[in-house]
């Protein structure tokens, strides 16, 4: 006789649901480790930067349980953990790994997204401004991880089978993300693209101390150029 429906439900709860809960708990643990390291960077950078530029603002803060901000001058790194757990399309490379084939519950991953925002966008609450996705960090129940992200992060961290998250990896990820932000400059738009504005845009600009702007909106071409240049290194 085949399984009853209730047996199938119990089996899925015991395997898939438990694995997803474990992946959630592991991802939250990893986010908390990122928070600790970021706080260390705040202290270290603040001390070193103020030796030559007191007005450069270095600041760490948390926005609740699932979000952390690290401001360094005109850029802010924002880490946000998604509260759901994800699987991947059948064509994804993760399914071809022996590590996952041996235990299908290893494919379920939590997600920490890393964004680059202009500090002014957050400070002046310019809600229409956009952030640039720097990396997506996927973590499974056993702490194995890989990164889908800008170079070199996506290139360095794609060995899901053998990579387990630790403090050294977290330090490297943060450093590479900060370097990407600092090297990714905001480019002025062509004159004709901003030749006219609406009354609403003028009012919003006056209210928020700046026009609707972001590296994503105004710097898309330089973003592609940055990736091309990194690929040549």
- Over pLDDT 90: what percentage of the chain? 58
Q: Which residues contact 88 (CB under 8 A, 6 or more apart)?
A: 94, 95, 107, 109
For the residues of 98-130, what is the DSSP string, one character each?
HHHHH-GGGG-BEEEEEEEEEHHHHHTT-TT--
Task: Report pLDDT digits (tens) over 96-134.
Answer: 999 999 999 999 999 999 999 989 888 888 777 888 899
**Distance between CA atoms of 111 and 92, rounded to whole angstroms?**
16
Q: What ranges make up the beta strands (E) of the chain?
A: 58-62, 67-72, 75-81, 110-118, 132-139, 145-149
| Total-model pTM | 0.83
pLDDT given for residue 123 in this prediction? 85
What residue spans define the domains of the chain? 12-232
Indicate the length of the chain as a whole number. 233
Average model confidence (pLDDT) across the chain: 84
pLDDT given for residue 170 in this prediction? 97
pLDDT at position 32 over 70:
yes
pLDDT given for residue 229 in this prediction? 45
Lowest mean pLDDT of 38-47, 56-65, 68-77, 184-193, name the range.
184-193
- Mean pLDDT, range 77-84, rounded to an integer: 97
pLDDT at position 153 over 70:
yes
Task: Report pLDDT digits (tens) over 164-223.
Answer: 999 999 999 999 999 998 887 766 666 676 666 676 666 666 555 555 565 654 333 333
Q: Does residue 176 or residue 51 have the better pLDDT?
A: 176
Secondary structure class of 146 (helix, strand, coil)? strand
Burial 117-155 (b: 16+ CB within 10 A, else e): bbbbbbeeebeebbbbebbbbbbbbbebbbbebbbbbee
């Amino acid at each position: 006789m085949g399984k009853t429906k209730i047996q199938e439900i119990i089996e899925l709860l015991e395997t898939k649901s438990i694995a997803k809960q474990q992946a959630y708990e592991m991802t939250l643990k990893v986010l908390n480790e990122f928070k600790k390291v970021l706080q260390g960077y705040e202290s270290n950078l603040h001390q070193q930067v103020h030796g030559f530029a007191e007005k450069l603002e270095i600041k760490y803060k948390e926005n609740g349980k699932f979000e952390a901000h690290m401001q360094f001058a005109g850029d802010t790194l924002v880490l946000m953990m998604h509260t759901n757990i994800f699987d991947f399309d059948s064509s994804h490379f993760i399914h071809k790994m022996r590590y996952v084939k041996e235990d299908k519950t290893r494919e379920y991953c939590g997600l920490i997204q890393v964004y680059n925002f202009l500090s002014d966008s957050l400070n002046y609450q310019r809600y229409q401004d956009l952030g640039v996705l720097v990396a997506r960090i996927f973590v499974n129940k056993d702490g194995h991880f890989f990164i889908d992200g800008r170079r070199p992060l996506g290139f360095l961290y794609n060995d899901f089978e053998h990579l387990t998250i630790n403090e050294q990896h977290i330090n490297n990820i943060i450093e590479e993300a900060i370097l990407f932000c600092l090297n990714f400059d905001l480019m002025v738009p062509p004159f004709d693209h901003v030749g006219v504005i609406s009354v609403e845009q003028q009012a919003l600009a006056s209210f928020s101390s700046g026009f609707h702007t972001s590296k994503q909106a105004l710097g898309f071409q330089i973003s592609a150029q940055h990736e091309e240049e990194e690929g040549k290194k």
